[in-house]
Amino acid sequence: MPRRSAVRFLPALGLAVASLALVAPSSRVSAQGATGEPPYRNPALSVEARVSDLLSRMTLEEKVGQLLMLDARGEDLSFVNERQPGALLHILGAKVGRAMDLAAKNRLAIPLLIGEDGIHGHSFWKDANIFPTQLAMAASWSPELLERMGRVTAEEMAPTGIHETFSPVLGVARDLRWGRTGETFGEDPHLNGELGAALIRGYQGKGLDDPAAVVATAKHYAGYSETQGGRDASEADISRRKLRSYFLPPFERAARAGAMMFMTGYQSMDGVPSTANTWLLREVLKDEWGFKGVLVTDWDNVGRLVYEQKVAATYADAAIMATRAGNDLIMTTPQFYEGAIEAVKSGRLEESEIDEPLKRLLSLKFQMGLFENPRRPDLAKAAIEVARPDHRAAVLDAARQSLVLLQNDGLLPLDPAKVTSIAVIGPNADDDLQQLGDWSLGSPQHPPEAGKHPREKTVTVLDGIKAVAPAGTTIRYEKGCAINSPDLSGLPAAVTAAQASDVIVAVVGDHLDFIGEGKSTATLEMQGGQVALLDALEETGKPMVVVLVNSKPLVLPMSVKRAAAILEGFNPGMEGGRAIAEAVFGQLNPSGKLSISFPVHVGQQPVFYNQVRGQHGTRYADLTQEPLFPFGHGLSYTQYRYTDLRLAPTTLARGQAATVSVDIENAGSRAGDEIVQVYVSDVVTSVTWVTRALKGFARVHLEPGEKKTVRVTLPWEAFQLVDADGRSVVEPGDFDILVGPSSRERDLLKVTMHAE
């Protein structure tokens, strides 16, 4: 969500706002209580009773207006009274108060629902704390960390007048050329579901009536991440069985975790746009899973039925199609208003069909208590929240746990007795925008005049190394090249700095010009002058540490593959530079594990680990099929030994769970955290199935020489597959349980169990 036009909204400044006095609606006297208020205003009544009363008072025009979520970037908010939309997005701070005042003057004074993109922090609010991106955070394999991120984000969003965040993204990454790969949790359905559920818990806090919480939105439902050629929003070639096998499980997990909003995807599947997919929206989400919340379309998805996908001739046709498919809230398609009204008045759509989604939206507003407390912006409180030291500490902790050591020949951590001068070189070494990544103030969702987060809020890699380096260390910095141009004018100075230093820290990766919505790439090669720069640095003969600041896995040149060490930070947020510097100097022992595989070549796409069994051969004629770095990979400054894998029971009765136990020993001299991964392989299946699938994991801290027994419980559902009829079943037979530090088969211990 969402692709935007060139005109953007500006974040509100810290302006004071007055308190709101709700205007009493005009209504029938006979329906009023002793206080003169209509029943829907009475919080002592049930939500159902209040919805029923309010619905009975509404005109068709008021009903259709409530189903609109409109773009509020412009200064003119008169549409709040003209169309009486139920929700707004892209409106912040004092301007929210203005919109709420206008809504209170409408005949029934129905409060607004305010949504915004809080993707990895309160993304577009100046001074907010920006976390690592989802793909970076996924490398922590820590649901607790994701829940904390959600809580901090909600605490910073709520006082600015925001009720709902368009997060988390639960698409399972496949083709890495897709520009939105970095918004995902990676390539595994189970990890996606667990981390997504944790983020939802963080956002929604104590419940819908928690004024310090925001409603979570699970997106993009579903299959949007399965692109053709990596092209954004292209037709997704997914059968219903494939959806159920890989793409739906994270969303079902989100529904069970209590997410109160879902968002549709842009793509179509088997010729049916997601927004018009009755099976997906009604039969699965609402009927099968029992989802009681609100389903919102993505940016102008109903309009796209007319002008992009061209499955509807008119907006009346599109309104009928979208309503009957099961959408509840129509984002940024103002033409839905006239289209739906025309459809009802012409008899093509029943007014009761408008009532159905409206009941869901009104129920959410009543459950949130917005009729009693519309949750106006409190900018003084917002300033306090974004300045909280514990919020900043959470951002640093997230960056630390998300850092992945991909490669190390022993150079790291740097020995201060041997290293007294460091050349920090590269286009991303001191670029705060690239470090924060997409969906952050300063990224392409806003124009340059919208500004960016204050520079002093972000610790770049250069900042971090200067702060953490031992006293007396000489730091030389050169940018060296650009990523979004072939300019190499800075290369000679970079080589000179490298030659004069003991060690090179090269900070490279990608650029906002090549990532994000609508910005898929044909290649995964490093752009601009980076390969030339890295090759030139390698030729100096100085040991080189490569730090990757990138939105997604890239194809690494030989000069990087031959580097002494590689640290993957992805887009590590405001404290990323500090965490990286701590790892370089040994104050931090990296513990992150990849949630996504690194390819050797772009032609390997897709290269995810849990491929379906069955093909001729095990490699391409000209290239390996193995990734450079697989899912689950991540090194440490210590070594861990896995021994004595065991299972209880070894034979499972139907519905029973299994407990996997393994001993982990820290065989090195440094304390560290290891992420234990548990995979399941169904030995013989009635349908083709994956080689192995992640079904459990645990993070364990070990002091030097310490040994612990780690136990992971696998519920009966962990052994399910989707059969030829689309049913999730556990088939009787043998299952291999594999445990180890990555998804590589050679890294895994194995034990076999039998399911009856």
Q: Who's near 475: CB < 8 A, 6+ residues apart?
A: 421, 422, 424, 462, 465, 466, 469
The more confident residue out of 421 and 30 is: 421
Q: Which residue from 370, 87, 103 is spatially nearest to 210, judged by alpha carbons?
A: 370
Between CA 48 and CA 56, with CA 51 as vertex, the angle to 5 degrees is 125
Q: What is the CA radius of gyration of the chain?
A: 27
Contact between residue 293 and residue 250 where contact means Cβ atoms under 8 Å apart:
no
Q: What is the pLDDT of residues 210-263, one digit of tens each?
A: 999 999 999 999 999 999 999 999 999 999 999 999 999 999 999 999 999 999
Mean pLDDT of 34-48: 91
Q: What percent of the chain has pLDDT over 70?
A: 95
Q: What is the pLDDT of residues 381-402, one digit of tens each?
A: 999 999 999 999 999 999 999 9
Cβ-in-10-Å burial (0-12, 13-18, 19+) of 639 comes to middle
The Cα 715–Cα 730 span in angstroms is 11
- For the chain, what is the mean pLDDT? 94
Q: What is the pLDDT of residues 531-569, one digit of tens each?
A: 999 999 999 999 999 999 999 999 999 999 999 999 999
pLDDT for residue 155 is more than 80: yes
Please name the residue that has the structure tokens 């392989």: 681
List Cβ<8 Å contacts ≥24 apart for 289-294: 289/252, 289/255, 289/256, 290/255, 291/255, 291/262, 292/360, 292/363, 293/259, 293/260, 293/261, 293/262, 293/360, 293/364, 294/260, 294/261, 294/262, 294/328, 294/329, 294/357, 294/360, 294/361, 294/364
Q: Beta 707-714 vs 268-269: how paired, if at all?
A: unpaired
pLDDT for residue 9 is more than 80: no
Q: Who's near 352: CB < 8 A, 6+ residues apart?
A: none
Q: Identify the H or E element spanning 362.
A: helix 351-368
pLDDT for residue 29 is more than 80: no
Q: What is the pLDDT of residues 623-639, one digit of tens each?
A: 999 999 999 999 999 99
Strands annotated E in 38-162: 68-71, 87-89, 113-116
Please name the residue that has the structure tokens 């609109």: 68
Q: Which domains does the chain have, with CATH numbers?
A: 66-380 (3.20.20.300), 403-604 (3.40.50.1700), 640-755 (2.60.40.10)
Rounded to 10 degrees, what is the CA torsion of 411, 412, 418, 422?
100
Contact between residue 738 and residue 729 where contact means Cβ atoms under 8 Å apart:
no
3-class DSSP assignment, residue 119: coil
pLDDT tier for residue 30 given thresholds of 50, 70 and 90: very low
* The residue type at 589: N
pLDDT for residue 28 is more than 70: no
pLDDT for residue 606 is more than 90: yes
Mean pLDDT of 407-416: 97
pLDDT at 3: 41
Contact between residue 365 and residue 371 where contact means Cβ atoms under 8 Å apart:
yes
Q: Beta 294-296 vs 261-264: how paired, if at all?
A: parallel
pLDDT at 35: 63
Which strands make up the sheet holding 544-549, listed edge to edge?
404-408, 565-568, 544-549, 503-509, 421-425, 474-478
pTM of the model: 0.94
Mean pLDDT of 154-163: 98
Contact between residue 631 and residue 725 where contact means Cβ atoms under 8 Å apart:
no
pLDDT tier for residue 32 given thresholds of 50, 70 and 90: low
Q: What is the pLDDT of residues 620-677, one digit of tens each?
A: 999 999 999 999 999 999 999 999 999 999 999 999 999 999 999 999 999 999 999 9
Mean pLDDT of 286-306: 98
3-class DSSP assignment, residue 598: strand
Q: Identify the H or E element spanning 509.
A: strand 503-509
pLDDT for residue 446 is more than 90: no
